[in-house]
Amino acid sequence: MPLKITDHWLSGTNKAGHTTKKKQTPNFYRPPFNTVTGLPDATIIHYTAMNDFDAAVKVLTTKYESGNASAHLMIGKAGEVTQMAPFNYRTWHAGSSYYNGRKGYNSLSVGIEIDNLGWLKKFGTDYSRKRLKAKGITVPKTDVFEGRHRNPKIPYEYWQEYTDEQIDVVFEICEVLRDTYGMQEFLGHDEIAPDRKQDPGPAFPMDELRGELLKDRSGEVEEGIVNTNLLNIRAGAGGQYEKVAQPLPQNAQVKVLEERDGWYKVKTEIEGWVSKKYITPTK
């Protein structure tokens, strides 16, 4: 049975041949999410920065005196998956976070953790970090991705590679999440908390994931309706541009002429740019 979501839990077998294990975390907020549907409309990708799948699951499914964290999914190196909360429950993976006018991604998103060490430094012929090296954990050059982070302030040059199974399974799960919940955003933790976070970093093909999963929604939308109370319509694709008319009312029908940077150029009686998240496609 192919991978699908039943009652907010993954079911079926993934592309790497694994069924999903269940280990429920006590660290969650009950529904609803802070979205139009009350369900998540974004997905955030993380790495654990740890070396051990089971230890990482344990951290995210244990209640400590403070510093509790959780996520919905943990993806192992062979593509094995443990789900720690149903997708209609909010988990604690994002922390203080902000992107494209929205904040508080714990209440907007599904959190996917990937078993991966993250950034590394060179130690002779191997790669590690001080504290990992003290425990005898090193990574050979063949498993190291060399490249800078999209955030130029992050100085690290070496990262543990993700396995092909991890990337395949994350892409597969994200597609099922998109089809089930109508996900609008796939983002890295490093994009919603750029001052604090480096994960998933440059070794994860974030732009490819977005290109694959969001491409068929852009460019093909021809018409839509306004899904917010009053929608500003501007001279260009961004909040810095002048308003060109009175705001559009809820349920106003618009023709979509063009898309740019998360904005649609729309036509009603007049033409101008609106943030695309406030347009529900109808065609």
Which residue ranges make up the site for Zn ion (CB under 5 A)? 46, 189, 199
- Decide: residue 93, CB within 10 A, 0-12 exposed, 13-18 middle, 19+ buried: buried
Length of the chain equals 283
Q: State the minimum distance, in angstroms, from the CB of residue 74 to Zn ion.
A: 12
- Nearest to Zn ion of 70, 232 (CB atom): 70
Closest distance of CB 112 from Zn ion, Å: 10
Indicate the residue among 93 and 265 with the shorter CB distance to Zn ion. Answer: 93
Q: How far is the CB of 199 from Zn ion (least distance, A)?
A: 4
Burial class (CB in 10 A: 0-12, 13-18, 19+), 14: buried
Residue closer to Zn ion by CB (options 80, 191) is 191
| Alpha helix ranges (H) inside 32-188 | 53-60, 130-134, 164-181
Q: Are 58 and 202 in contact (CB under 8 A)?
A: no
Q: Which is nearer to Zn ion, 193 or 266 (CB)?
A: 193
**Could you write out the DSSP letters of every residue in 145-212?**
EE---SSTT----EEEPPPHHHHHHHHHHHHHHHHHH---EEEEHHHHSTTT---S-TTS-HHHHHHH
Q: What are phi and psi of 205, to 5 degrees?
A: -80, 70
Least Å distance, CB 188 to Zn ion, is 8
Cα dihedral 98/189/108/73 (nearest 10): -170
119-123 vs 109-114, strand pairing mode: unpaired
Provide, rounded to whole angstroms, the least separation between the CB of residue 47 and Zn ion.
7
Report the nearest approach of Zn ion to the CB of residue 141 (Å).
26
> Among residues 60 and 144, whose Cβ is nearest to Zn ion?
60
Complex with Zn ion: residue 46 or 276, whichever CB lies closer: 46
